[in-house]
Amino acid sequence: MAVTVLLWSCGHGGSPSNLTETVTAYAADRFTLEEMNGYTKLTVRDPWQNAHGTELYWYLLPHGAAVPEGVEEEQVIRIPVRRIICMSTTHLAMLRALDATDLLVGVSGPVLVYDSLILDAVSRGKIMDVGYEGNLNNELIVTLKPDVLIAYGVAEPAAGNTGRLPALGVKVLYNADYLEEHPLARCEWIRVFGLLTGREARADSLFREVSEAYLGLAEKVRNGNPVRPDVLLGSPWEDVWYVSPANSYTGRLIEDAGGLYLFSDLSEAHSVPFSVEAVFERATGAEIWLNPGTAESLADIGAADHRMTRLPVYTSGRVWNNRNRMTPGGGNDYWEGAVVRPDLLLMDFVSIIHPELLPEHRHYYYKRLQ
Amino acid sequence: MKGRSPRLTLTMAGLILLVALLFVADLLIGSTRMDAAEVLRSLFGNGTPGGEIIVTQFRLPKAITALIAGAAMSVSGLLMQTLFRNPLAGPDVLGVSSGAGLGVALTVLTLTPVFTLSAGSAMQGWGIILAAWAGAGAVMIIIMAVSARMRDIMTVLIIGLLLASAISAVVSLMQYFSNEAMLRTYVIWTMGNLGNISYPQIRALALSTAAGLIIAFLMVKPLNAMLLGETFSRTVGVRMKRTRAILLASASILAGSVTAFCGPLAFIGVAVPHIGRLIFGTTDHRTLMPGVALCGSAVLLLSDIISTMPGGGHIIPVNTVTSLTGIPVVLWIILGRNGIGRRF
């Protein structure tokens, strides 16, 4: 709720002067940027799941500037950075939005990358595959001499391979964008990338434009006082259905697009395992079904779990997946580009849930199952 | 039960009643709340549309699967324990479950989810099942080939264990190189699943386990002879290699089929034969075979009821329930009777 209010004020009447305030994260819960004397202090909070109260600090200094007193050299990143390794596709999207992909020297698991320019650079050997979580090619990472490696944390870094990298002289910046609950909060991480790459103003204006578009559309939906149809989300795995809580990324988008998430009463930090029977019982009232796993057709859903064919929403065919923009290898722009275009993503949601509000919109990330 | 003591008949009848009660309870109790009258109306086609689907598409197939799988795994374990004269033997010692796991791992972990799910929908419901079946079958053939060459049954056991370890290592390696979604699919498969099985699949499961059970029931006499040692069996005319091959085939068909449809239901095959022996106080397979089958059904039905955590809407993997509730029971029985060693 606090996020909404904050965003509201930023989207409506928020002036550019906000940007120069000391604490300058509007929506994002997991980072703050503090303008200090000649440098910026970046604080990353709880960058992995169950990291209760962990704070990591980075001091972003221009090249050549003296390290401030009391700051360790290991905590300093010189900006603008010239060589970056990114572990997540969302990071790639942020660099892409800032036209900074030429700084990329390494990516993790390029098979899941969507961006054709980056894929092309990988195939030409300009960008190296550094391996993936649990199977990192540490030697390669060190020889690539990155100024910063942007990682995402699933668990404490000591448990994973990235935990060893700082000892090898690699600066590992944890990006907690995927843990942000609000789509705009995820997008706001682009400001960290802006600062790192010397494209601060561009990142700020991009974020501002996207925020205004998102909040404007959400307001239009709210003002229309629409009837909110029940929306089912996800798919079962055998007997289990991992249900996303209401305050999740997608739960938020459904709410802002004028839908009613079936589990709007579920407030947990993580998804909760429900029995398929229990979800089915609730889902009999659903009018729209989003993100049914990797299913590409209605028949796929039935084949994975025949019981789902009995759902009225299945019979009505109002089922959409987020796999409209995919590479043959499995790269999905929903997990990449959409992070910097939550406004476009919300348009997809609105046109699915309330097509009358955006009659001209053609789905970008979403696709109706046949 | 002709010619047997009244106590035995009574125990058997009691068990049949227990299984019937648990079957009904499994239909009445689910993870959503539904009153008994509504369940019964739904069962006979007079319920609300939503209720009917939950009873006929969720609870009934799950209860039938528990009934069949429990009996099959337990009898498979009984055959293994007698064949190897080893109280720790179970359906998984020969690597049949591991073989099924390898089949599943090959489909789930090496083919990307994109590929698997767009590769023609008719295949999908059966894809994992057929892969598991093929994996279990391959291991069974290897074991039978080894068994035909070896005189000593212990060699077969050791080779089975080695094979199982090797397969597990290969699966670990594949897990290591796969992504999170594939891993999750595989890990959930290993936790056991009774629910997501359609009626045509239940029919296939029933037919294959029936075949395995019929073979097992026909083998009660040689099994009884085997308890007295291979030398004795030979003197009373049991043709060891042939008997062994038939028993291995039966046990593998039972365990392989159940694993293919429900995932590895590990604990039940090792523990339930002991429960059966202790309840009936005999090692006579004429009694044990039906007794152990009934105990197995009862245990799995009960585990399924507990795993749905009645009324709460959540679910825990059935395998964890079987182990966590089964182990104290077995311990209690064993400690109460001063061990099970004397029975072998």
Closest CA to A335 of A119, A8, A114, A139: A114
Q: What pLDDT sits at residue A22?
A: 39
A121-130, A242-251, B146-155, B198-207: segment of lowest average pLDDT: B146-155
Residues of B with Cβ-Cβ distance to A296 under 8 angstroms = 117-118
Domain assignments of chain A as residue spans, ordered by start:
2-211, 228-368
Give yes or no for residue A25 having a pLDDT over 60: no
Chain mean pLDDT for chain B: 83
In the predicted structure, residue A218 carries a pLDDT above the cut 50: yes
Domain chopping of chain B, boundaries:
64-343
Average pLDDT of A41-65?
89
Q: Under the phi-then-psi rule, with left for phi > 0, alpha for psi from -120 to 50, and beta for the rest, what region is A234?
A: left
Distances in Å between the alpha carbon of A90 and those of A197, A331, B325?
16, 12, 44
* A284-A290-A292-A294 Cα dihedral, nearest 10 degrees: 170
Q: Is A237 in Cβ contact with B57 (below 8 Å)?
A: no
- Do A66 and A313 touch, CB atoms closer than 8 A? no
pLDDT on residue A15:
37
What is the predicted pLDDT for the residue at A183? 93
pLDDT at residue A10 greater than cutoff 60? no
**Across residues A55-70, what is the average pLDDT?**
92
Backbone φ and ψ of A127, nearest 5°: -120, 130
Q: Work out the pLDDT band at B123, boundaries 50, 70, 90.
A: very low
Contact state of B57 with A307 under an 8 Å Cβ cutoff:
yes
Give the burial class of B342: count Cβ atoms within 10 A of its Cβ; 0-12 exposed, 13-18 middle, 19 or more buried. Answer: exposed
Asked if A236's CB is within 8 angstroms of B308's CB, the reply is: no
Average pLDDT of the residues in B270-291: 91
Q: Whole-angstrom Cα distance, residue A309 to residue A302?
A: 5
Q: State which amino acid sits at residue A153.
A: G
Angle made by CA atoms A29, A324, A186, in degrees to the nearest 5: 5
pLDDT band (50, 70, 90) for residue B341: low
Question: What single-letter DSSP state applies at residue A156?
Answer: -
> Does B215 have pLDDT greater than 80?
yes
Q: Please tell me the distance from the alpha carbon of residue B297 to that of residue B276, in angstroms, as a whole number.
A: 12
Please tell me which residue, B106 or A201, carries the higher pLDDT value: A201
Q: What is the pLDDT of residue B119?
A: 37
Structure confidence by residue, pLDDT tens digits, B94-112: 788 888 888 888 877 666 4
Q: How far is A305 from chain B (nearest CA, A)?
A: 6
* Mean pLDDT across B273-280: 89
Q: In the predicted model, is pLDDT for residue B224 greater than 60?
A: yes
Under DSSP, is residue B15 helix (H, G, I), strand (E, B) or coil?
A: helix
pLDDT band (50, 70, 90) for residue B340: low
pTM: 0.82
- A132 beta partners: A135
Residue in A closest to B187 by C-alpha: A237
Q: How far apart, in whole angstroms, are the C-alpha atoms of residue B43 and residue B30?
A: 14
CB contact (8 A) between residue A280 and residue B125: no
Instruction: Quickly state the pLDDT bin for A152 (edges 50, 70, 90).
Output: confident
Which of B27, B31, B112 has the most A C-beta neighbours within 10 Å, making it the best mutation to test the interface with A? B31
DSSP-assigned letter for residue A175: P
- Please indicate whether, in this complex, the C-beta atoms of B117 and A294 are within 8 angstroms of each other: yes
User: Domain A228-368 belongs to what topology?
Assistant: Rossmann fold (3.40.50)
Q: Which residue would you say has higher pLDDT here, B327 or A359? A: A359
DSSP assignment string, A187-226: HHTHHHHHHHHT-HHHHHHHHHHHHHHHHHHHHHHHHT--
Asked if B312 and A275 count as a contact pair (C-beta separation under 8 A), the reply is no
- pLDDT tens per residue, range A293-323: 888 899 888 888 889 999 999 999 999 999 9
**Measured between alpha carbons, how far is residue A188 from residues A12, A26, A66, A181, A270 in Å?**
17, 8, 29, 12, 22
B176 interaction partners in chain A (CB closer than 8 Å): 134-135
Asked whether the predicted pLDDT for residue A8 surpasses 90, the reply is no
Point out the least confidently predicted range of A17-26, A132-141, B197-206, B244-253. A17-26
Distances from the Cα of B113 to the Cα of A243, B130, B152, angstroms: 20, 17, 44
Report residue A202's pLDDT band, with 50, 70 and 90 as the boundaries: very high
Which residues sit opposite A40 in a β-bridge?
Answer: A35, A60
pLDDT given for residue B337 in this prediction: 64
**Where would I find the H helices in A39-137?**
89-97, 116-123
What amino acid occupies position A360?
E
- Whether residue A297 and residue B121 make contact (CB cut-off 8 A), yes or no, is yes
Amino acid symbol at A240: V
| pLDDT digit string, tens, across residues B173-183 | 888 777 766 77
Q: What fold does the segment set B64-343 form as a domain?
A: ABC transporter involved in vitamin B12 uptake, BtuC (1.10.3470)
Distance of alpha carbon B179 from alpha carbon B200, whole angstroms = 32
Residue A7's pLDDT band (boundaries 50, 70, 90)?
very low
Chain B residues with CB under 8 Å of A306 CB are 57, 125, 196, 198
Q: In the predicted model, is pLDDT for residue B20 greater than 50?
A: yes
The DSSP bridge pattern shows strands A272-275 and A240-243 to be: antiparallel
For residues B341 and A144, the model is more confident at A144
* Angle of the B199-218 helix axis to the B121-149 helix axis, nearest 10: 10
Q: How much is the pLDDT for A161? A: 66
Give, in order, the Cα–Cα distances in Å from A127 to each of A89, A162, B33: 14, 19, 56
Alpha carbons A168 and B271: distance in angstroms, whole number: 51
Please, which pLDDT band fits residue B185 given cuts at 50, 70 and 90?
confident
Contact B108, B182 (CB under 8 A): yes
The long-range contacts involving B161-165, CB below 8 angstroms and separated by at least 24 positions, are B161/B93, B161/B95, B163/B94, B163/B95, B163/B98, B163/B139, B164/B92, B164/B93, B164/B94, B164/B95, B164/B97, B164/B98
* Number of C-beta neighbours around residue A285 at 10 A: 15
Q: In a 10 Å sphere around its CB, with 0-12 CB exposed, 13-18 middle and 19+ buried, how is residue B273 labelled?
A: buried
pLDDT exceeds cutoff 50 at B259 = yes
How far apart CA B181 and CA A241 sit, in angstroms, is: 14
The lowest-confidence range among A192-206, B54-68, B125-139, B283-297 is: B125-139
B-chain residues near A305 (CB < 8 A): 196
Task: Give, in degrees to the nearest 5, the angle at Cα A214 between A210 and A215.
Answer: 120
Residue B118, pLDDT above cutoff 80 = no
All residues at 6 or more sequence positions from A109 whose CB lies less than 8 Å from its CB, including other chains: A129, A131, A132, B179
The chain-wide mean pLDDT, for chain A, equals: 87
- In tens, the pLDDT along A161-171 reads 677 888 888 99
Name beta bridge partners: A42: A33, A58
Strands across the sheet containing A319-321: A260-261, A230-233, A288-290, A319-321, A367-368
Alpha carbon of B107: minimum distance to chain A alpha carbons (Å): 14
Question: Residue A330: which region, alpha, beta or left (left: phi > 0; alpha: psi -120 to 50)?
Answer: left
* Least reliable range by pLDDT among A255-259, A340-344, A359-363, B87-91: B87-91
Q: How far is A177 from chain B (nearest CA, A)?
A: 18
Residue A29's pLDDT is 84
Q: Give the bridge partners for A231, in sequence order.
A: A261, A288
Q: Strand A230-233 relative to strand A288-290: parallel, antiparallel, unpaired?
A: parallel
Say yes or no for a CB contact (<8 Å) between A302 and B314: no
pLDDT of A265 reads 92
Residue type, A190: I
What pLDDT band is residue B192 in, cutting at 50, 70 and 90? Answer: confident
Q: What pLDDT score does B295 carry?
A: 95
Q: Which architecture characterizes domain A2-211 according to CATH?
A: 3-Layer(aba) Sandwich (3.40)
Q: What is the pLDDT of residue B121?
A: 39
CB A267, CB A296: distance < 8 Å: no
Hey, do A2-211 and A228-368 end up sharing a CATH topology, with the first three levels equal?
yes
The region that residue A238 occupies, defined by phi over 0 for left and psi between -120 and 50 for alpha, beta otherwise, is left
- Residue A77 gets which letter from DSSP? E
What confidence score (pLDDT) does residue A270 get?
83
pLDDT at B66 exceeding the cut of 90 = yes
Spatial distance between the Cα atoms of B113 and B110, rounded to a whole number of angstroms: 9
